[in-house]
Amino acid sequence: MCGIIGYIGPREATPLLIEGLRRMEYRGYDSAGVALWDGEAIEVRRAAGKIAKLEAAIAADPVDGMVGIGHTRWATHGAPNERNAHPHLSADGSVAVVHNGIIENASVLRGALQDLGYVFRSDTDTEVIAHLVQELFDGSLEEAVIHALRKIEGTYGIAVISSRDPGKIVAARKGSPLLIGVGNGENFLASDASAILAHTRQVVYLDDGDVAVIERDSYRVIDLNAMPLPRDVDRIDWDLAEIERGGYAHFMLKEIFEQPQSVENTMRGRLMLEDGTAKLGGLNLSHEDLLRIDNIIITACGTSWHSALIGELLIEELARIPVEVEYASEFRYRNPIVTERTLCIVMSQSGETADTLAAMREAKRRGARTLGLVNVVGSTIAREDDGGVYLHAGPEIGVASTKAFTSQVVALALFTLKLARKRDLSVVRGREIAQALHALPAQIQEVLDRAPAVEAIAERFKDATNFLYLGRGFNFPAALEGALKLKEISYIHAEGYPAAEMKHGPIALIDEHMPVVFIAPHDAVFDKIVSNIQEVKARSGTTIVITSRDEPALRGLIDHEIRIPETLDMLMPILASVPLQLLAYYIAVKRGAHVDQPRNLAKSVTVE
């Protein structure tokens, strides 16, 4: 999704802005631009397409200065072309604005500004901010921005510079993340910590309603009444190397191969092997609170929603508490049954997904306790939830979520273990689960060691136009996730189904051109899924079977086999999802797709 970067200090800003924009490329974008105060006026350079195009535009018409803002845009209002790219200038060129989010009353404001004689040069909602700030300017940029924001309805993360008050960047946040990077004699602004990490680890996360006035040697945060707000400086504790590819062809591949470590990190210091439970410091739920939970709602989007489905099965199986899994986008627009004894678990890699955040706020408003299972430290969900479990999977840059998914399932298993042991789960069973979790990193490595076999299967199916993914029980969500991975990065149509559901419709699709991926480890429903594989073979379908043993029942039914180690049924989707990630990855690469930044997708979806 859109990215914002800002710089003010003694250095030439252009290369710093471009570097910051590059670091945020993974978020997904379709145009980019920068605006700089060059000592006399504000100069803007923009380009549709990738940042290389912006660099070419700057090379053709160089621009520099020591105060600047930059943006990568993911189109919402208006086509992804140069005139709609940010920054947007006010009518007299004195104000430049970059904006993430959506101004809901943009057309009303646009009409009012047109009545005052303002001529619009883009189709964006953002341009109204630039003209409004010009119109309301009376000597102080922050005051003009505050006045403009009072007229705006919607969501925003903005950065504004002005030639009439040039020694500062004014930023504001409502619903779209922003942070200040605190440097030495220089300061930064960014929507994503990765953009500034090369220059500082000291950051101030802005909250909704905050306005930041950032100057070269200082910064202050004020509210919409210009009253000062205290804000802590946080330290980012991950390294630049973690957001670099480190020899891998793509971030996605790197992140798939990092899973032995990322899963280990999710469990580090938390798994209590002897007691058969987990220690989770940030829960903020006492023993009594855990016993008081009547029902659990898990809300999420996309891949996080798939991990939530596994969470539902885990919690109901072990802790015997009713669980509902809700699409965050639907939850907030219906009338869900939430009481003060409801626990709402919020799953999000980024911690910034707009629908998930809104669902969490709605659950809170209705009296539920909220628990965020989030990867990005300091993200909005992590700061607003009542308690949380960080995934500690490390930065996930590839748009297709991989290591965050496996860490989400592990975090859910840890939480379930703790909850279930407080209720009815015996220590013996708890130990068995804890031991199985403990074994996962080495088992994931075993699966990764078989990547060449998966690549060979990918070669065979790279030109397929459709895929079916089928699984039962704990592996049904893994089938959904496998299908999502394939469609989002290779653009091949893929569907996930519970295997037995196939005969209620999808079976009509099966012929010799339809590859069907079965997740069929030796588990409680193995015999059942064998029947489903037979149904596919009987109709000339081609089977790719992920299984855990040389099963006589499968002989003659498997066209392509991927072997995974055995674990408890409930943890099997973690191991099964790894070859599914690899299959999607290799197929996408062989089709020449842009794996890390698939078309139309954004890493963190901060608009509704």
Q: CA of 385: how far to CAs of 272, 299, 364, in Å? A: 25, 13, 9
Q: Does 349 bind ligand M6R (CB under 6 A)?
A: yes
Map residue 255 onto helix, strand or coil.
helix
Question: Do residues 566 and 521 touch, judged by C-beta distance below 8 A?
Answer: yes
Q: Does 65 bind ligand M6R (CB under 6 A)?
A: no
The site map against ligand M6R for 423-452 (x = CB under 6 A) is: ------------------------------
Q: Does 399 bind ligand M6R (CB under 6 A)?
A: yes
How many C-beta atoms lie closer than 10 Å to residue 302's C-beta?
A: 23
Residue from 36, 106, 253, 400 in contact with ligand M6R (CB under 6 A)? 400
To ligand M6R, the closest distance from the beta carbon of 600 in angstroms equals 11
Q: Are strands 42-48 and 156-162 parallel, antiparallel or unpaired?
A: unpaired
Q: CB nearer to ligand M6R: give 33 or 394.
A: 394
Q: Does 253 bind ligand M6R (CB under 6 A)?
A: no
The interface region with ligand M6R, picked from 253-261, 347-355, 568-576, 589-597 by CB under 6 A, is 347-355
- Which residue reads 């040697």 in tokens? 217
The interface region with ligand M6R, picked from 226-234, 277-285, 397-405, 532-540 by CB under 6 A, is 397-405
Q: Is the dihedral of CA 380, 383, 386, 389 positive or negative?
A: positive
Nearest Cα neighbor of 140 from 80, 91, 95, 85 is: 95
Tell which positions 300-329 bind ligand M6R, by CB under 6 A: 301-304
Map residue 132 onto helix, strand or coil.
helix
Q: CB nearer to ligand M6R: give 122 or 401.
A: 401
Cis peptide before 598 (omega within 30 of 0): no
| Number of residues near ligand M6R (by CB under 6 A) | 16
Q: CB nearer to ligand M6R: give 478 or 557.
A: 478
- Which residue reads 């039962």 in tokens? 472
To ligand M6R, the closest distance from the beta carbon of 147 in angstroms equals 34
What is the C-alpha separation between 449 and 452, in angstroms, rounded? 8
Residue from 187, 191, 353, 443 in contact with ligand M6R (CB under 6 A)? 353
The site map against ligand M6R for 464-503 (x = CB under 6 A) is: ------------------------x---------------
The interface region with ligand M6R, picked from 345-353, 383-391, 417-425, 440-448 by CB under 6 A, is 345-353
> What residue is closest to ligand M6R based on CB?
302
What is the C-alpha separation between 340 and 164, in angstroms, rounded? 52
The interface region with ligand M6R, picked from 19-27, 93-101, 331-339, 395-403 by CB under 6 A, is 395-403
To ligand M6R, the closest distance from the beta carbon of 496 in angstroms equals 13
Residue from 348, 380, 532, 577 in contact with ligand M6R (CB under 6 A)? 348
Map residue 410 onto helix, strand or coil.
helix
Nearest Cα neighbor of 418 from 258, 267, 299 is: 267
Q: Which amino acid is at 448?
A: L
To ligand M6R, the closest distance from the beta carbon of 151 in angstroms equals 31
The interface region with ligand M6R, picked from 240-248, 431-439, 561-569, 598-606 by CB under 6 A, is 598-606
Q: Does 296 bind ligand M6R (CB under 6 A)?
A: no
Q: Is the dihedral of CA 417, 420, 426, 427 positive or negative?
A: positive
To ligand M6R, the closest distance from the beta carbon of 484 in angstroms equals 6
Question: Do residues 507 and 519 touch, judged by C-beta distance below 8 A?
Answer: no
> Which residues are annotated as catalytic?
2, 603
Burial status of residue 179 (CB atoms within 10 A of its CB: 0-12, 13-18, 19 or more): buried
The interface region with ligand M6R, picked from 143-151, 296-304, 310-318, 574-582 by CB under 6 A, is 296-304
Q: CB nearer to ligand M6R: give 419 or 584.
A: 584
Q: Does 16 bind ligand M6R (CB under 6 A)?
A: no
The interface region with ligand M6R, picked from 20-28, 398-406, 422-430, 506-514 by CB under 6 A, is 398-406
Q: Does 175 bind ligand M6R (CB under 6 A)?
A: no
CA-based end-to-end distance of the chain:
12
What is the arrangement of strands in the sheet containing 31-37, beginning at the earlier edge strand?
42-48, 31-37, 67-73, 3-8, 187-190, 179-182, 202-205, 234-235
Nearest Cα neighbor of 427 from 273, 292, 307, 310 is: 273
Q: Does 384 bind ligand M6R (CB under 6 A)?
A: no
Q: Does 194 bind ligand M6R (CB under 6 A)?
A: no
Q: Is the dihedral of CA 439, 440, 445, 449 positive or negative?
A: positive
- Which residue reads 């020694």 in tokens? 167
What is the C-alpha separation between 415 and 418, in angstroms, rounded? 5
Q: What is the CA radius of gyration of the chain?
A: 25
Residue from 155, 187, 194, 350 in contact with ligand M6R (CB under 6 A)? 350
Q: Does 299 bind ligand M6R (CB under 6 A)?
A: no
Sites of contact with ligand M6R (CB under 6 A):
301-304, 348-350, 353, 356, 399-401, 488, 601, 604-605
